[in-house]
Structure 1
Amino acid sequence: MTTYKFNVDMTCGGCSKAVTAILSKLEGVSDINADLTTKVVTCNSTKFNADELLVSIQKTGKKSSIKND
């Protein structure tokens, strides 16, 4: 299992719920945390890589990128 972090331009609770909802529909994705204060989404995946997860997040219409620590 790999942990991924993304910068996501979330401005409200609806934004964080939308990102959480789309990621939770993906098989093999777990421990999703969308932090509205820091605008960082963290999740674990056994099946998808960062680029694939980013495409799913971008389907919500939110500007997003892979967070490099």
Structure 2
Amino acid sequence: MTTYTFNVEMTCGGCSKAVTAVLSKLEGVSNIQIDLPNKKVACDSTKLNADELLTNISKIGKKCSIAA
């Protein structure tokens, strides 16, 4: 299992709920953590890599990137 962290342009609770909803539907993704003030999302994944997770997060229409 690998933990990934992303920068996501979230401005409200609705944004964070949308990110959580997208990630929770993915097989092998767990331990989703939202840090709304710092606009960070972290999750564990056993099946998807960072690029695949990023592609799914971008489906909510928010600007996002892999955190360094």
TM-score class, shorter: over 0.9
Cα deviation code 1:8-67 (max 9, x no counterpart): 000000000000000000010000011111100000000000000000000000100000
Q: Which runs of 5+ in 1 are unaligned?
A: none
Q: TM-score, normalised by structure 2?
A: 0.99
Q: How many residues align?
A: 68
For the aligned residues, what is the CA RMSD?
0.4
TM-score normalised to the size of structure 1? 0.97
Moved over 6 A (4+): none
Instruction: State the one-letter code of the partner of 2:5.
Output: K
> Where in structure 2 are there 5+ consecutive unaligned residues?
none
Q: State the percentage of identical aligned residues.
A: 72
